[in-house]
A and B are shown apart, each in its own frame.
Chain A
Amino acid sequence: MILQKAKGIHIEGMKELSKKMPFREYLDPKTVYIPLVQQTTPLKRIVEPGEIVALGQVVALREGFGEMPVHASISGKVTSIKKVWHASGRMVEAIEIENDNQNRLDPSIKPEVDPDSLTREQLVEKMKQAGLVGLGGAGFPTYRKYCTKCPIDTVIINAVECEPYLTCDCQLIDQHAEKMLKGLKYFMKAAGAANGFIAYKEYNKNIKAALEQMLDKYPTIKLRPIKDIYPSGWEKYIVEQVTKKTYNKLPSEIGVIVNNSATAMVFADAVEHNIPLVARVITISGEGIKSPQNFYVPIGTKVQELVEMCGGYQDGLDPKNAWYIAGGPMTGKAILIDELVVSDTLNAVVVIPTPPETIHPECLGCGRCADVCPVYLTPTEIKRAFDRKDQKAIGELFADKCMACGLCSYVCPSHIEIADYVARAKDLLKKGA
């Protein structure tokens, strides 16, 4: 339809905050806490307190859908099983490992002799053994994407990062451009795809500059600038912009797989050096942080330590009266305490002072939520149907298309939690079906 052109709005990125400081590696935290949960799946622990573990040793197993191992991110001694705050906003059990600062590697970590001779099946198996999950924030097991039965011809690396405040992917590509291209090359091989694309935001000139000079060596990989709007990092939007095709549920329907840029880098290491997923990038930013910056840290590091390395909290910020937003302010979860640990899905912690509570007017019906919705829903109507608990009406309004970008709540001048109503309507629809 004419009415359905590409949608989204520009929102203030606040990205400069964390770009001022260089990218920093911090690989020796005193203790790490490996969370025993991935997405919503609990993990099965296979080490006992008191055991000595090496970096890269399997300490837990994910079972059922997307089964794979989870590895220790440092070498040391398992001291206890503790409850810690997780990116999902809940307290979960975690394995506490005390660092012995010897950096002993698991025997499985050794350079691959000839990575180019690996077959598709071997590459997918490597993804699984490396415990690779999507590092963009969703945490979907990567190898499941490559087990699809559909023929794949395109792999897209998503380096768009449309969440405000987040710059970790951008800075990571700056530092490790070659590694990402290698990762994409292996991804393409694992999928049997002929084309590779790297989608980045058009104003990120540094990504273009860093990658362009190396593209000669990778003739099948092309760059694709994406407009600076939110939610341009949405999988469907990127696929539409790059391939001009659209799909219903999964991009593999039209032969496309989308992976995050950080995932590609970890995969390059997994293929060439057999290093599993033990560390990730994370942005520590927000108005509440003295000098916001990006870190490359082992999974399980305490966020408190990273905040201290950023110079601590901004003067005047009351740490008890602030939001610690796990995973970007648009789709993340705000936690009221800074005792959070880095998990596989935690790509950022944004610290902002809690806004004062005010009384907002009622919905005035301006319709901005419907105006900006990237999937053309009318959130006010969905809320009305939800208030009646009318499942049929919710279904007719296509509430299940909502992908929780949060734009409707963002633009609402009356501060109504309209995105939350749509999410609840969606749940109601699922329950009924």
Chain B
Amino acid sequence: MARFAGGKAPYLRIADDPSKSTNALMRDFLIGMFPVILFAWYKNGIQVYLEGNIAFLEMLYPLFFILIGGLSSMLMEGIFFYITDKENRNVKGIMMKLKNSFALIPGIILALLLPLYTPIWVLLFGAFMATIVGKMLFGGFGHNIFNPALLGYLAVGFTLSGVIASAGGVFNQSEVLVDAYAGATPLGTLASSKQISYAALVAPYGSLWNFFLGTIPGALGETGSLAIIIGYLWLSIRKVIKWSTPLIYVGTVFILSWLIGAFAGDGGLWFPTYSILSGGLLFGAVFMATEPVTTPRNPLGKIIFALFLGALTVLFRFIGNFPEGVGTSLIVMNIFTMPIDSISAQIRAGGIRKQSLLKGIMIVLILVAIIVYSLIKSGTIYSLSALLGWFKLGVM
């Protein structure tokens, strides 16, 4: 036995090809975020500078902000490695671990999720929550249950949203000067007015075209729909992400929003389009719903996961207290990644059998219940027409 090779069959591995290993995947993921970063810089830096509202050095601030996000998470992870591993307290060992831990990515995603004038200490707090609490305490890369960047974002959002708002909120220096916004993002307007009307939701920001290009107020990375779509195409072509997951997620939100709009008396396609282009939906669908570690591995599981995300996002958006539903629904679904994976693995390998039938039906029922409930509830809020009126009479 001693003469047996250390490796095991098969002896050809994609991983041996440096252009296809996990490191290359993560590099490609970063490249996929590049259009978004560039757009965030253009919108909040270059354009504002050209309009003459900020100084030259301030133009570089968005890039600086994103860079701090990435580097601070790397630094924190390095310190964590230094503290926990007493045997490998040298630069080479820590660099080696950092290389296989991909700390840059959650930091950059976190920075892109935050508004431009978020104080740096809030960003650092978020990065700490993301990398140390969200990732390293779970056992490091590959073991975390929650999407680290999302955990950092939610921690900041729940505890320090007031600080961010008083520091300038989501508006860059040019947007502050526009009166028509009335101090709210598109989704904020929807949440406060609870009315589906083109005049109130889209007109203040120009047209839906501006939503597509991304020249509407919002966090750094989330508004640039076009840039995100370019990133999505790159990631899909490079096969870093499964192309179908974002499509199913966004498609579910589109259809459900359209239904809600139709029940509220406006069946035009502008409302579902508005729903998918506003808020962090596209960003979340492309960069977070596809994040490999915290989403199901199984192809069938990925489909179920995306359907649930769509239904939950609509539920949280139209019923919850916050304007945004993407982050919350992603965190909720992260918890269910494991059960979804094990059930869909059984169904996929053996077809629908006795033991998996019950679980399959359960999943479908929960999904249908969420959708129906959110449709009805949002219907009551958004002046539901007579079609579902009988539900109001006592069922719910």
- A364→B349 contact, CB < 8 A: no
- A413→B10 contact, CB < 8 A: no
Q: Which residue of B lies closest to A410 (CB)?
A: B10
A242 interface residue (CB < 8 Å to B)? no
Measured CA separation A323–B16 after assembly (Å): 15
In the complex, what residues of B have CB within 8 A of residue A291's CB? none
Measured CA separation A369–B15 after assembly (Å): 13
In the complex, what residues of B have CB within 8 A of residue A398's CB? 346, 349-350
B299 interface residue (CB < 8 Å to A)? yes
A145 interface residue (CB < 8 Å to B)? no
- A413→B3 contact, CB < 8 A: no
In the complex, what residues of B have CB within 8 A of residue A354's CB? 5
- A411→B342 contact, CB < 8 A: no
Measured CA separation A336–B4 after assembly (Å): 6
In the complex, what residues of A have CB within 8 A of residue B342's CB? 381, 384, 393, 397
Q: Known contacts A378-B298, A380-B297; decide if A334 and B9 are in contact (CB<8 Å).
A: yes
In the complex, what residues of B have CB within 8 A of residue A411's CB? 14
Partner of A365, one of B23, B100, B293: B293
- A334→B7 contact, CB < 8 A: yes
Partner of B100, one of A352, A362, A378, A407: A362
Measured CA separation A433–B83 after assembly (Å): 47
Consensus secondary structure, chain B interface:
loop
Least CB distance, A203 to chain B, in whole angstroms = 19
- B141→A359 contact, CB < 8 A: no
Q: Using an 8 Å CB-CB cutoff, how does the interface string of A400-432 with B read, 1 for contact, 0 for none?
A: 010010110111111101011000000000000
A164 interface residue (CB < 8 Å to B)? yes
Least CB distance, A332 to chain B, in whole angstroms = 6
Q: Known contacts A359-B96, A364-B141; decide if A415 and B295 are in contact (CB<8 Å).
A: no
Within 8 A of B (CB), among A376-408: 376-378, 380-382, 384, 393, 396-398, 401, 404, 406-407
B122 interface residue (CB < 8 Å to A)? no
The size class of the interface chain A forms with chain B is: 35 or more
- A380→B351 contact, CB < 8 A: no
In the complex, what residues of A have CB within 8 A of residue B10's CB? 329-331, 406-407, 409-410, 419
Within 8 A of B (CB), among A353-371: 354-355, 359-367, 369-371
Least CB distance, B145 to chain A, in whole angstroms = 11
Q: Using an 8 Å CB-CB cutoff, how does the interface string of B1-22 with A read, 1 for contact, 0 for none?
A: 1011101111111111000111
In the complex, what residues of B have CB within 8 A of residue A412's CB? 13-15
Q: Using an 8 Å CB-CB cutoff, how does the interface string of A131-155 with B read, 1 for contact, 0 for none?
A: 0000000000000000000000000
Q: Which residue of B lies closest to A11 (CB)?
A: B12
Q: Which residue of B lies closest to A362 (CB)?
A: B142
Measured CA separation A409–B356 after assembly (Å): 27
> Can you spell out 28 A-B residue pairs with CB atoms less than 8 angstroms apart?
A89-B4, A164-B12, A325-B11, A331-B10, A333-B4, A360-B22, A361-B23, A361-B142, A364-B141, A366-B297, A370-B299, A370-B348, A375-B349, A377-B345, A380-B341, A381-B342, A384-B342, A409-B10, A410-B10, A411-B14, A412-B13, A412-B14, A413-B15, A413-B24, A413-B25, A414-B15, A417-B8, A419-B8
Q: Known contacts A361-B23, A378-B297, A397-B346; decide if A355 and B3 are in contact (CB<8 Å).
A: no
- B140→A409 contact, CB < 8 A: no
Partner of A381, one of B13, B143, B345: B345
- A336→B8 contact, CB < 8 A: no
The size class of the interface chain B forms with chain A is: 35 or more
Q: Which residue of B lies closest to A334 (CB)?
A: B5
Least CB distance, B252 to chain A, in whole angstroms = 19
A85 interface residue (CB < 8 Å to B)? yes
B355 interface residue (CB < 8 Å to A)? yes
Measured CA separation A396–B8 after assembly (Å): 26
Task: Given A378-B341, A397-B342, A419-B8, output 18 extra A-B contacts at Cβ < 8 Å.
Answer: A323-B11, A329-B12, A330-B9, A330-B11, A336-B4, A361-B142, A362-B141, A367-B292, A367-B297, A378-B345, A381-B297, A398-B350, A413-B15, A413-B24, A413-B25, A414-B22, A415-B13, A419-B10
In the complex, what residues of B have CB within 8 A of residue A355's CB? 7, 16
A194 interface residue (CB < 8 Å to B)? no
Least CB distance, A285 to chain B, in whole angstroms = 13
- A413→B345 contact, CB < 8 A: no
In the complex, what residues of A have CB within 8 A of residue B1's CB? 90
In the complex, what residues of B have CB within 8 A of residue A270's CB? none
- B295→A365 contact, CB < 8 A: yes
B300 interface residue (CB < 8 Å to A)? yes
Least CB distance, A150 to chain B, in whole angstroms = 24
- A331→B9 contact, CB < 8 A: yes
Measured CA separation A11–B20 after assembly (Å): 14
Counting chain A CB atoms within 10 Å of each CB, the highest count among B1, B298, B346, B351 belongs to B298
Q: Which residue of B lies closest to A325 (CB)?
A: B11
In the complex, what residues of A have CB within 8 A of residue B100's CB? 359-362
B296 interface residue (CB < 8 Å to A)? yes
Measured CA separation A305–B143 after assembly (Å): 50
Q: Which residue of A lies closest to B341 (CB)?
A: A381
- B292→A410 contact, CB < 8 A: no
Partner of A352, one of B9, B11, B300: B11
Measured CA separation A277–B242 after assembly (Å): 50
Least CB distance, B304 to chain A, in whole angstroms = 12
Q: Known contacts A361-B23, A364-B22, A414-B22; decide if A370 and B345 are in contact (CB<8 Å).
A: yes
Measured CA separation A333–B356 after assembly (Å): 37
Q: Known contacts A361-B142, A375-B349, A412-B15; decide if A370 and B8 are in contact (CB<8 Å).
A: no
